[in-house]
Structure 1
Amino acid sequence: MKKTAILSITTIALMSTAAVFLYLKKEDASSYNNNEQSSSSLKVSSQQDTEIDSASAKDMMEYFVSGNTELTLEEIRDNVANHHEQSSTAVVDEALFAKYLEYKSALISLDVQLDTTSISVDDLRALNQALLDLQAQFFNESEISILFTHDNRMREIALEKLLLKQEGLEDEEYQQRLESYLSEQPDYVQSSHQNQVLLQQLSSSEGLDEQGKYLKRSELVGEEATQRLEALDKQRAAFEDSFDVYLAERNDVLKDSFLSETEQQEKIAQLRTEHFPPEQLRRVEAIERIRANETKQ
């Protein structure tokens, strides 16, 4: 199985919640700016409008690893070490992070044969066991408890859902059985599940027209949050439009047989600066690398 397929299935099975941007109240802005001066240098371009997630060891490590398309592993290790020195609240030590990077590398090459169109109970059980075995290979019980309790619990919920659906229950009975099962889970698990359902509902609104999307979002998260989501939509659309134009011009340069490879790269670098502000250049280069890797697979 291709690595991309393995990664996508792993992401689904882990039931991870999507990353969200943090919006600050006006009275918090001054404190935030002071803290950001010392931490902004540790973030890649795509992370500049977010805060370093220091809620837990797992959250912080995931935050830094999320920059792996723009940084080398060595640069990521350096950023974690620097953050550890700067922050009195840092909860990640270098030794644990080194093991976590090794685990993430092994996760990419995890060989579990799954049907990418429909995950069965047996598929998810096999994936769950493979992940548990991999965790045990790199971490002790205490570290597993700290790093993976939430992810492992969410996979258990995913498995329970599949088992209930396998029984062919009517919608009402399915919901009752699921709610009964969830009521036995810790509060944080229930909250995570509710957040996941909310994200799925928000995602389902993408197929609606603009008015329908706005009304659906308002119903789910309120007027203020809906306006912020719309602003993000516009920023994303503007970036994608610029990237499409840039990509077409970049392809023309690559097809120009009269240019040497060095001249092509110089012209492409010039195109990036013409189409994007400095803070987006590394993001653009990262997307280009991702697409190039996907083409090779």
Structure 2
Amino acid sequence: MNTKLLNNRLIFLGLMACLLLSLVLIYFIFKPEAQKHQNDLNQQNQTLSENNHTKNIIGGNHQAKIPTLAPSLQGTEIDCPIQVDAKGKLVLTVGIRSCFDYFFSSLGEKTETELISDIRQYLKATLPDTASSYASYLLDQYVAYTHALKNLKATSDFKTGDAEGFQKVLNQMYKVQEQFFNSAEINALFGNERNLNQFNIDQMRIHANKTLNAQQKASELATLIDKLPSTLADGVRVSMQFAELQQLTQEIQEKGGSAQELRNMRESLLGVDAADRLEKVDQEEAGWQTQVNSYLSAREQILKSNASDSNKQQSIDQLRNSTFATKEDLLRAQSYEIIHDQ
């Protein structure tokens, strides 16, 4: 196989693995509250299975038991927040894919064929006929889609931070999705993933824009976060704001930026109140650092004295206790001592 072609394929497969992992995390973080009842029902189903009950599963129309889970999943809550409407029809939500991925996470303990059978059994046991039939169809399409992804060859090379290269690879993946699902199914199964991918691409473009200073980047990133769908915004906002704060702070410090530049960036990214809180933390940290540096200097003088080791230790203990008022500060000071001595 051509070396470049092989590298492209490896890069693409690596990206796909990262995307799938990130979406699994999204499922756990952003499952809608409206699906809480279904999660409770799934827990009941798992308990019935573990106790070897043979009665009908609540919510299903069949005399069928849920499948025996792979060892790594036994004792866990079955993550299948699947919804049906009043007429027993399947409601398209990301919970369908979450359910499939939950079972497939044990691939290796069971074969793909066994897991497909398990999912079908679970769908049949817990859903009305109409919903179960449609969900099984989506399962077939999903399996075919994942197989097609594995055989897909990336059309371009790209490096970390290469927004355009990343976009080209994603466009390839989106075309494959369109081969197996209609627009409503794509929005339900892959909507969160697509939104997050687009966010990441826009984020790359902002950071790569050399005409923007740190404050301008912070302002554009804050706007970008605010435009995220409600299903993603709250959870992503916290993690992304922290990551961007770290990156932009480092950028300002490396360029020798002023305290006012740092303040402006924080306000643009997080708002005035958060910037005030961070400024207060900075002041407290600066005060602490002054205090601990003074303590370490006095401690060093004791260690250099001609006193006996026991007297030195006694003097250091007295110094530490008189310098730091709380138990937490005493413990923190001792940590600084270890770092200083090393």
Out of 7, 18, 23, the position equivalent to 1:12 is 18
Deviation at 1:102, TM superposition (A): 0.5
CA contact (8 A) 1:42 1:83 kept: no
Deviation at 1:80, TM superposition (A): 0.8
In structure 1, the partner of 2:231 is 188
Q: Structure 2: how far apart are the matches of 1:125 and 1:139?
A: 20
User: Structure 1 residues 71, 117: CA separation in 2 closer, same or farther (over 3 Å shift)?
Assistant: farther
Out of 175, 178, 183, the position equivalent to 1:133 is 175
Q: Structure 2: how far apart are the matches of 1:113 and 1:163?
A: 21
Aligned residues: 194
CA contact (8 A) 1:40 1:48 kept: no
User: Structure 1 residues 44, 161: CA separation in 2 closer, same or farther (over 3 Å shift)?
Assistant: same
Q: Which moved more, 1:133-142 or 1:162-171?
A: 162-171
Correspondence 1:25-104 to 2 at 5 A: 34-37=47-50, 41-55=67-81, 56-88=95-127, 93-104=135-146
User: Structure 1 residues 147, 41: CA separation in 2 closer, same or farther (over 3 Å shift)?
Assistant: same
CA contact (8 A) 1:13 1:124 kept: no
In structure 2, the partner of 1:179 is 222
CA contact (8 A) 2:225 2:237 kept: no
Q: Structure 1: how far apart are the matches of 2:138 and 2:162?
A: 34
Post-superposition Cα deviations, 1:146-203, rounded to whole Å, max 9, x if no partner, equal: 21111111111011101101113444432321111221222112134247549989xx
Deviation at 1:35, TM superposition (A): 4.2
User: Structure 1 residues 172, 36: CA separation in 2 closer, same or farther (over 3 Å shift)?
Assistant: farther
CA contact (8 A) 1:182 1:190 kept: yes
User: Structure 1 residues 81, 194: CA separation in 2 closer, same or farther (over 3 Å shift)?
Assistant: same
Q: TM-score, normalised by structure 1?
A: 0.55
Q: Structure 1: how far apart are the matches of 2:45 and 2:127?
A: 16
Instruction: Supply the AA of the counterpart residue of 1:6.
Output: F
Q: Structure 1: how far apart are the matches of 2:110 and 2:151?
A: 20
Correspondence 1:241-256 to 2 at 5 A: none
User: Structure 1 residues 192, 133: CA separation in 2 closer, same or farther (over 3 Å shift)?
Assistant: farther
Instruction: Supply the AA of the counterpart residue of 1:151.
Output: E
Point out where structure 2 has 5 or more consecutive residues left out of the alignment. Answer: 1-5, 30-39, 53-64, 82-94, 245-342
Q: Compare CA radii of gyration and give the structure with the larger one.
A: 2
Post-superposition Cα deviations, 1:70-90, rounded to whole Å, max 9, x if no partner, equal: 222211111011101222488
Instruction: Supply the AA of the counterpart residue of 2:80.
Output: S
Is 1:152–2:152 an aligned residue pair? no
Q: TM-score, normalised by structure 2?
A: 0.49
In structure 2, the partner of 1:266 is none
Point out where structure 1 has 5 or more consecutive residues left out of the alignment. Answer: 22-27, 202-297
User: Structure 1 residues 41, 83: CA separation in 2 closer, same or farther (over 3 Å shift)?
Assistant: closer
User: Structure 1 residues 128, 99: CA separation in 2 closer, same or farther (over 3 Å shift)?
Assistant: same
User: Structure 1 residues 5, 71: CA separation in 2 closer, same or farther (over 3 Å shift)?
Assistant: farther
Post-superposition Cα deviations, 1:16-40, rounded to whole Å, max 9, x if no partner, equal: 353869xxxxxx9x95863452788
Instruction: Supply the AA of the counterpart residue of 1:176.
Output: S
Q: Structure 1: how far apart are the matches of 2:69 and 2:10?
A: 25
Helix, strand or coil for the counterpart of 1:93? helix
Q: Structure 2: how far apart are the matches of 1:116 and 1:50?
A: 39
Q: Structure 2: how far apart are the matches of 1:32 and 1:102?
A: 28
Q: Structure 2: how far apart are the matches of 1:129 and 1:80?
A: 29
CA contact (8 A) 2:45 2:66 kept: no
Instruction: Supply the AA of the counterpart residue of 2:16.
Output: T
Q: Structure 1: how far apart are the matches of 2:222 and 2:156?
A: 28
Q: Which moved more, 1:61-70 or 1:76-85?
A: 61-70
Instruction: Supply the AA of the counterpart residue of 1:118.
Output: T
Deviation at 1:50, TM superposition (A): 2.6
User: Structure 1 residues 31, 63: CA separation in 2 closer, same or farther (over 3 Å shift)?
Assistant: closer
Correspondence 1:219-238 to 2 at 5 A: none
CA contact (8 A) 1:54 1:60 kept: yes
Q: Structure 2: how far apart are the matches of 1:112 and 1:182?
A: 29
Give the superposed CA RMSD: 3.4
Q: Structure 2: how far apart are the matches of 1:198 and 1:180?
A: 11
Q: Structure 1: how far apart are the matches of 2:143 and 2:238?
A: 27
